């Protein structure tokens, strides 16, 4: 059985949702028979070389202040920590995570997929981003994270210096549109149905069980 996870590495609920999916999968009787495939999705498809801080982005999105955005961040942080994840909360006058276009990061994650380490690389980038461990929009930091996850640093640098895997990212995004996916995380079970959002582990486990039953028919 295949589960396709559509996500973006700067999506906090994707970060939480994947951890909850892990918990669901661990409790699923047939977990050894489940193939997990990561699919690219851009929360902000606008090309830019200047990522903004997340509080500025959130404040503009909801029409509030940076303090309002920080309170939203704190809510996500609570959910993340409840899932056993590190989460560094952005503050109006302190640390502020950056947010921006992730097309290049998705391209190099496709290289990670070709090398058989996409899951590990995706999680490493997310953990560093949300845990405040590294600045993923800075090339040296990103290359370090990928190298630690098993991606050859020179090959990753070559991808970032080219348009390699651009077609693959666009194919994932077209697939999302074809499947009617407009928000992430979305978990697609055997192309039969999908579950959107960072749902509780029990709900995701029930989805796994349903998909398994459908596959047996």
Q: What is the CATH number of the domain that holds 125?
A: 3.40.30.10
Parent domain of 194? 2-51+100-216
Beta bridge partners of 37: 4
With contact defined as beta carbons under 8 Å apart, do 143 and 104 qualify?
Answer: no
In a domain, 26, yes or no: yes
Sequential pLDDT tens for the chain (217 residues)? 999 999 999 999 999 999 999 999 999 999 999 999 999 999 999 887 789 999 999 999 889 999 999 999 999 999 999 999 999 998 888 888 999 999 999 999 999 999 999 999 999 999 999 999 999 999 999 999 999 999 999 999 999 999 999 999 999 999 999 999 999 999 999 999 999 999 999 999 999 999 999 998 7
> What is the tally of structural domains in the chain?
1
Residues ≥6 apart with Cβ < 8 Å to 198: 13, 14, 16, 17, 20, 79, 185
In a domain, 84, yes or no: no
Q: What angle do CA 110, 162, 39 make, to 5 degrees?
A: 20
In a domain, 22, yes or no: yes
In a domain, 119, yes or no: yes
pTM for the model: 0.95
In a domain, 154, yes or no: yes
In a domain, 198, yes or no: yes
How many CB atoms neighbour CB 122 within 10 A? 23
In a domain, 61, yes or no: no
In a domain, 170, yes or no: yes
């Amino acid at each position: 059985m295949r589960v396709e996870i559509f996500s973006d590495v700067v999506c906090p609920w994707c970060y939480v949702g994947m951890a909850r999916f892990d918990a669901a999968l661990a409790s699923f009787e047939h977990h050894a028979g489940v193939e997990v495939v990561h699919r690219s999705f851009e929360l902000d498809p606008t090309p830019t070389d200047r990522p903004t801080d997340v509080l500025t982005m959130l404040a503009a999105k909801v029409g509030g202040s940076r303090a309002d955005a920080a309170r939203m961040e704190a809510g996500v942080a609570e959910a993340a920590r409840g899932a056993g994840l590190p989460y560094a909360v952005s503050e109006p006058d302190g640390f502020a995570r950056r947010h921006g276009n992730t097309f290049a990061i998705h391209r190099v994650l496709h290289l990670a997929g070709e090398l058989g380490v996409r899951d590990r690389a995706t999680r490493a980038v997310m953990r560093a981003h949300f845990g405040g461990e590294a600045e993923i929009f800075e090339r040296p930091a990103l290359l370090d994270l990928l190298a630690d996850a098993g991606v050859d640093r020179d090959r990753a640098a070559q991808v970032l210096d080219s348009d390699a895997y651009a077609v693959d990212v666009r194919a994932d995004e077209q697939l999302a549109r074809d499947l009617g996916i407009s928000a992430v995380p979305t978990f697609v079970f055997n192309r039969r149905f999908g579950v959107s959002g960072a749902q509780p582990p029990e709900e995701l486990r029930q989805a796994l069980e349903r998909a398994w039953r459908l596959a047996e028919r």
